[in-house]
Amino acid sequence: MLGVTDLPTYVIGTIAIILLPGPNSMFVLATAAQRGVRAGYRAVSGVFLGDAILMVATALGVASLLRAFPPVYTALKYAGAAYLAYLGVRMLIGAVKSWRQRGEVAAAVQEVAEPHPFRRAFIVSIINPKAILFLISFFTQFVDPAYPHPAITFLVLGVILQITSLIYLSALIFAGTYLAAQFERRKRLAAAGTSAVGALFLGFSLKLATSSMT
């Protein structure tokens, strides 16, 4: 259909990939827990824009350019890792303050989510050059090389990916608002949860810094 081979397998694979924890989903969850549904969807919009740019870059062969020029990939990789580490450290610092002062709900998440959830979600989404390499290796498995309009095929694959992502991130947004209600009553639980998310961001940073193109 429209140049897509084995559509059911692609859909199943896409669902499995999206369900894996990552910086995008954790950021959306944290933003919704701190600032509510509207801010959560602003973060989702940032993720969508970043993912769309990566998919277009994939279709244009940017991954091949990164392979041809390893220093560019290395620079992007370490820049992305540094930004994720920065977010993680800010969350951990805020969690410590929240634990000591028992102040506002999830003050650490506020450090990350305010004032521009869209912009920060976009940066989190687009800084990982590994994602471009993953997308091209995943997408090309389902593109029929004999189909005369490959742009349409990439569009179909991208729309399926974004719709699946929207459903999952929407679930996280409403889960985040539920967590916010729980955190309002349990300040130390809020600090502990924020610490865990901060630690995850540091883990994502380390994973990206030690990744390779192969």
Domain spans of the chain, in order of start: 7-209
As a whole number, mean pLDDT of residues 33-39 equals: 83
pLDDT of 189 above 60:
no
Contacts of 114 (CB under 8 A, 6+ apart): 34, 35
Give 78-98 as a 3 state SS string.
Answer: HHHHHHHHHHHHHHHHHHHHH
Strand partners, 4: 143
Alpha helix (H) ranges present in the chain?
Answer: 7-19, 23-35, 37-59, 62-68, 70-101, 107-113, 117-126, 129-139, 150-185, 187-209
Q: What pLDDT, in 10s, does the model give residues 74-122?
A: 777 787 778 778 777 877 776 666 666 554 444 444 444 456 789 888 9
Looking at residue 130, its pLDDT comes to 63
